[in-house]
Structure 1
Amino acid sequence: MDFDYTDDQEQLRDAVRRWVDKGYGFERRMGIARAGGFSKEAWGELAELGLTALTISPDAGGMGFGPVESMVVMEELGRGLVLEPFAAVALVATDLLQQGHAPSAALWLQGIAEGKERVVLAHQERAARYRLNHVTTRAENVGGNWVISGAKSVVPAGAHAGAFIVPARVGGADDDAQGIALFLVSRGEAGVTLRGYSTQDGACAAELKLDKAAGIELIGPADGHAALERAQDIGIAAACAEAVGAMDKLVAITVEYMNTRKQFGVPISSFQALRHRIADVKMQLELARSMSFFATLKLGAPAAERRRALSQAKVQLGQSMRFVGQQAIQLHGGIGVTMEYAAGHYFKRLTMLEMSFGDTMHHLGEVSARMQDTAGVFA
């Protein structure tokens, strides 16, 4: 199998890397974090690069790229710890909008492609524990119009979104996979309440409350749960790629520090014990990189195969993120956790990514539940 990138993919990587290096330095990122975790100017710059239109079909004004190009972009954004919700808007939400049948979906897609609009998936609920089938938000058809009531938590950049894709139950019990439809809810509708806040890594999220808010059906209950699973898998693949980029940069920062920090008159990189530790870190990074490739390439597989593969990737990435982050901080010592130094911020972002779209323990359970093979002795 050929794992080399095409010329177009390499050019895309170079363009994003140049912007991250020159336009999104650590000082600018810290300023954005202090200002609330989102910058309209930075989002506009992403749009100027064409990134907000990356996966949108050319018919809707997009570039029509696929999962591999998305992985390339996410790795570079991960290296720069970019706070803006690129994956949430340009990868996850756009996939759902392109699957949907709502007349307004095309307008939202055009707005996203132009960098003028932001739509995010608002699916997490209290007590769900990452289960997509646990939906207590309800949708009722009143006089031919849908009204939605419920609450969603940790909505990415929710205070800066113009609309939300909201899973709501039109039938069945709270934990049924059937009866879940996806609705478009505009921020300006009556009954929509938002409470924004900063997250641990410097980005931002919001709590969304809906009290008989008007919604437009995007995907019906026959396909709602399956569409939500696919959206989560796209988010997992994006998180894996971002984590690889962040770990790659964190390892480079750590190696540079080890080559300059001296003890007993010599660089600490000359100590054999520390060289062994950084070798273990590199091994975990490469394991994560290979599983990120695996996750991206499995996005086009049948649903059962795709779901298992993405959970397997998330388990490995979760283990790698924790190991690389902890070791990098320990190799730095006290300076690694200071606000003025970048290493600690990478560790925080890796911690947030480990919990995004299901933490390691959740996906370990998912992998176990989907295992069809036996160990032989139990056949």
Structure 2
Amino acid sequence: MDFNFSEDQQQLRDAVRRWVDKAYTFEHRRAAVKAGGFSRDTWAELADLGLTALTVPEAHGGLGLGAVDAMVVMEELGRGMVLEPLAQAFITGAVLGQFAPEAVQAQWLPRVAAGESIVVLAQQERRARYRLDRCEAQATRNGAGYAVTARKSIVPIGDKADAFLVPALLDGQQALFLVEASAEGVSTQGYGTQDGSRAAELQCNGSPATLVTTDGLSALELAVDVGSASVCAEAVGVMEQALLTTADYLNQRKQFGVAIASFQALRHRSADMKMQLELGRSMSYYASLQLGQPAETRRRSIARARVQLGQSMRYVGQQAVQLHGGIGVTDEYIISHHFKKLTQLEMTYGDSLHHLGEVSARMRETAGVME
């Protein structure tokens, strides 16, 4: 099996890396955080690069590329800790492409691909505790259409989005709906998040909605798995940059007249950071490669990947701060932002303890038994 990236994938990586290095410097990011944590102009730049169209089928104006291409992009965006949640475009493309009626696909996917409409997943409820099968939102039939009443939390750029993918119970069964931000009864309350990005509380009060699918749980599981694979890839990019920044600091900082990179204890800790990065990278590859598998296999694989990525993110983030000493916790220095980004990613779509429970629940009776 060939594990090398194709020439097209390498070119894609290079193009995104050049954009991050040139257009998304640390100073640019700090300014974006102060401006609210999201920029339509930056989203338009991502669209101009073709990234919002990456996984949208060609029949609907997209590039029709796959999970590995999305992984490559998210790694590079992670290097710059880009605030704009491009993963939401990947989620929307996957869910609408596999579950939505053709008319809904034709209406929304070209707009998502062009970057004209931002559709985000709004699934988190206060009592759910990361459980996807727990849903209190309600949907009713309203003439020829549907109406949704729901309260969702921590919706990515919720007060800036154009529409939402909202799970809700329809006749006692979880379905998935698309609710436009401009619909009657929709309100949002935006706020900044720990890593400098933006989220919102979403309230729908009998809001008109478009039915995506009555198999809402399966669609939601796919959405969260695509999001989790994106989290893994983004985390790899953040960890890689944190390690490089730490190595540069150790080579520049001197004590007793020599660079502290020469101290054996610090060299060992740097080596452990590199090991955790590579463990995380391999499991990120695993997660992306498993997205096309049947649901049970895919869910089990994503949970495994998230357990390892959670361990890697926590270790690399903590060591990076500690090896920098006091400067590592200052807002003016980039490593503190790496740490905050990794901390938030570790809890996105379920923290490590949740995913460890998922791995345990999905273990087969023959786990660990040699046949």
TM-score (norm 1): 0.95
Q: Deviations over 1:239-287 (max 9, x none)?
A: 0000001000000000000000001111000000000111111110000
TM superposition shift of 1:224 = 1.5
Structure 2 residue aligned with 1:249, among 229, 238, 241? 241
**Matched ranges for 1:55-204 at <5 A:** 55-88=55-88, 90-99=89-98, 100-101=100-101, 103-172=103-172, 179-204=173-198
Q: Deviations over 1:261-316 (max 9, x none)?
A: 00111100000000011111111000000000110111111111111110000000
Q: Which runs of 5+ in 2 are unaligned?
A: none
1:29 aligns with 2:29: yes
TM superposition shift of 1:200 = 0.5
Q: Which stretch shows the higher mean deviation, 93-102 or 291-300? A: 93-102
Q: Secondary structure at the match of 1:158?
A: coil
**Matched ranges for 1:1-379 at <5 A:** 1-88=1-88, 90-99=89-98, 100-101=100-101, 103-172=103-172, 179-220=173-214, 223-374=215-366
| Matched letter for residue 237 of structure 2 | G
Aligned 8 A contact 1:92 1:234 in 2: yes
TM superposition shift of 1:375 = 6.1
Aligned 8 A contact 1:102 1:217 in 2: no
CA distance in 2, matches of 1:76, 1:139: 39
| Matched letter for residue 122 of structure 1 | A
Q: Deviations over 1:177-232 (max 9, x none)?
A: xx111111111111001000000000000000011101010112xx2111111111
TM superposition shift of 1:110 = 1.1
Aligned 8 A contact 1:71 1:237 in 2: yes
Aligned 8 A contact 1:170 1:181 in 2: yes
Aligned 8 A contact 1:102 1:218 in 2: no
TM superposition shift of 1:142 = 2.4
Q: Deviations over 1:102-121 (max 9, x none)?
A: 62432221111111110011
TM superposition shift of 1:143 = 2.2
In structure 2, relative to structure 1, the CA distance for the partners of 1:189 and 1:120 (3 Å cut) is same
How many residues align structurally?
Answer: 369
Aligned 8 A contact 1:149 1:213 in 2: yes
CA distance in 1, matches of 2:145, 2:354: 37
CA distance in 2, matches of 1:23, 1:272: 38
Q: Secondary structure at the match of 2:291?
A: helix
Aligned 8 A contact 2:190 2:198 in 1: yes
Q: Secondary structure at the match of 1:5?
A: coil
Q: Secondary structure at the match of 1:52?
A: coil
Identity of aligned residues (%): 57
CA distance in 1, matches of 2:210, 2:111: 18
| Matched letter for residue 319 of structure 2 | Q
CA distance in 2, matches of 1:288, 1:106: 37
Aligned 8 A contact 1:136 1:168 in 2: yes
